[in-house]
Structure 1
Amino acid sequence: MAGSVAAAGVVAGAAILAVGLAATGSASVVGQRLASAADAGALAAADAASGAVAGVPCDLAAEVAGTFGARVDACDLDGLIATVTVAVRFGPVVAQATARAGPPP
């Protein structure tokens, strides 16, 4: 009887560990995707602001961020420098990332 209780405890512990590692890995993937969405959105907005591509900068940032499953929370232009903040829901949490792009100084 004691061996079955110990085995059940080991199996439960392994299951809890596996769920925790899966959640951590998933959060890492969402974080990387969110950072990529912010970077790509900022680059698209900066390209539009400089005239390299046609379109409204913040609309292009929203379009590009949407391809990553994110939404643009803020889009600011300071001359040719674009700062874009994107967000995505991950379970009960809303994660945000900000990126900045523009010509070199």
Structure 2
Amino acid sequence: MRRKRWGGDEGSATVWAVFAAMALCTVFAVVIAMAQVVVARHRAGGAADLAALAAADHALRGATAACGSARRVAAAQDAQLVRCAVRGDIADVTARARTGPFASDIRARAGPSAEEGRSVEPIPEPGGTAR
């Protein structure tokens, strides 16, 4: 006859294995969610930069043409153009990219540099003077 012990640890390995599997699944879910956030942010940033450059390139044709070009570039990057403003030859756009349930809005500006047309002084070399 087999005696039944109370308070033994029969089957406890199964319980520990289930808890360990649940913990690992939770960690993996958090890592995947963080990766989706980073991917959405980078896609939105790239799309906003390229759309701003496209809009600034077409700024002389008018705001409608510039924003249309920016919209096409953002769509090619699998993003949506949320806002587009062209003032003179400077374009200011906001692009939105989605990855999974996460979306990221990034703003970018493009146009000629403020130093355009002015001579730039050379940067002095370390330990020496500029020529």
The TM-score, its normalising length taken from structure 2, stands at 0.72
Aligned with 1:34 (options 26, 39, 44): 44
Question: Tell me, which stretches of 5 or more residues in structure 1 are unaligned?
Answer: none
8 Å Cα contact 2:39-2:99 kept in structure 1: no
1:64 aligns with 2:63: no
Aligned partner of residue 57 in structure 1, secondary structure: helix
CA distance in 2 between partners of 1:83 and 1:31 (Å): 18
Supply the AA of the counterpart residue of 1:4.
T
| Greater Cα offset, 91-100 or 40-49 | 91-100
Per the alignment, residue 35 of structure 2 pairs with 25
Q: Which has the higher contact order (CA 8 A, sep 6+)?
A: 1
Q: CA deviation at 1:31?
A: 0.7
Are positions 1:11 and 2:21 aligned together? yes
Tell me, what secondary structure is at the counterpart of 1:85? Answer: strand
Match of 2:84 in 1: 75
1:20 maps to amino acid = V
Secondary structure of 1:69 counterpart:
coil
Larger helix fraction of residues: 1
Output the amino acid matched with 1:62.
Answer: R
Whole-Å separation in 2 of the counterparts to 1:47 and 1:84: 13
Provide the TM-score with structure 1 as the length reference: 0.88
CA RMSD of aligned residues (A): 1.7
Question: How far 1:33 moved relative to its partner?
Answer: 0.5
| Unpaired segments ≥5 residues, structure 2 | 1-10, 115-131
Aligned position for 1:103: 112
The structure in which a higher percent of residues are strand is 1
Q: Deviations over 1:7-39 (max 9, x none)?
A: 110011001111110111121111101100000
Q: CA deviation at 1:94?
A: 3.9
Secondary structure, counterpart of 1:75 in structure 2: strand
